[in-house]
Every structure is written in structure tokens, then in C-alpha cells.
Amino acid sequence: MSLDHRLIDLLVCPVCKGPLTMHRDEQLRPVELACPADRLAFPIRDGIPVMLEGEARSLDGPAPAVVALPPSA
């Protein structure tokens, strides 16, 4: 399932309402949306962002192999 990048650009962090950065894996598939202010990464499962604080991964811990891309313009 593909993510609609226009909709992803509308998403904000559910904690601080700040902007998110998309992280991708080695094959450039979207894997999570990260909030640099809160140091949280929200997973993308089956093409759907899971924007729940309880499901977020801390960016302070060990990170999976991802490539951070800035938000699309």
C-alpha cells in the first residue's frame, strides 16, 4: 500500500503538534514519522501511520536502519 504524500504533509506530531520527518528503510520504503522536538518516531504499518503516543519509539534508544528525509515541499 502506498502513502499519499499530500496527506502525510498534513500530519503533525500528536504530542506537540510539531512537524514530522519521514524515515525510510534501505529500499526507500516509509517506515516511520519522527518528531525531532519530542524525540519520538511513530511507525507506519501497512501504509498507515500509527499516530499514538503509546506506539511511538523513542529516538534516544537504538535506531533501526533508516534514512531520514525532510518533509516534501
* pLDDT exceeds 80 at position 67: no
- Here the CATH number for the domain that contains residue 51 is 2.20.25.10
How many domains is the chain partitioned into structurally?
1
Average pLDDT over residues 62-69: 58
Backbone angles phi, psi at 6, to 5 degrees: -65, -35
Report pLDDT digits (tens) over 11-53.
999 999 999 999 999 998 889 999 999 999 999 998 889 999 9
pTM recorded for the entire structure? 0.77
Q: Provide DSSP, 24-59.
A: E-TT--EEEEEETTTTEEEEEETTEE---GGGPEET
**Which domain range does residue 44 map to?**
5-69
